Amino acid sequence: MRKFNVLILFALLAGFAVMAYAEGIPEKITIDDCAKKKAAVEFSHKAHMEITDCVTCHHTAEGLTAENYTKMEVKTCSSCHVKPEKAETPICSSSSKKKNPYHIVCITCHKETKVKNAETKAPTKCTACHPKPKKS
C-alpha cells in the first residue's frame, strides 16, 4: 500500500511540474548578460528545479515555488548583479569565484553535490559551463 501511495504522490508532483512548464517557466536558460570573457552558459532550468528549491537561485523571491511564480515578481539574476546598487552585492562581470554570483552559488553547489555523489553530472570545471567556441 505504501508503494502505491508513493507512486501516486510522484505522479501528482510530476503533473504539477508539467503544468508549471506549460504555463511559462523556461525549460532551459542561457546566462549571457555577463558573457564578456567566456562563452554564455546554458543549463537545464527544469533539471535544477527537480533538485533544489527556487529560492536557492532566486534568493530575493522569498517563498517562490513553481506553483506560485505567476503571483510573484521573479527577477532575473542580471537585474541585480550586472550593475549592483550595493558595493557588497556580487557582480557577474567578475571572473572571481568569490565575487561572481553565479560562481559563488553554482560552483559551490556543484562541488557540494560532487562530495555527496561522485557520479553526479554537476560540472565543476570552467569549460563544462563555458564551452570553448567551435572551430569552423
Question: How do 41-44 and 28-31 pair as beta strands?
Answer: antiparallel
* Residue labelled with grid coordinates 504539477: 16
CATH superfamily of 2-129: Cytochrome C3 (3.90.10.10)
pLDDT in tens, 57-70: 999 999 999 999 89
| pLDDT value of position 132 | 82
What is the distance of C-alpha 80 from the center of its chain? 16
| Cβ atoms within 10 Å, residue 77 | 20
pLDDT in tens, 6-22: 445 444 455 455 444 43
Calculate the average pLDDT of the chain.
82
What the block records as the C-alpha cell of 76 is 532575473
Alpha carbon distance 39, 124 (integer Å): 16
Q: What are phi and psi of 6, to 5 degrees?
A: -65, -40
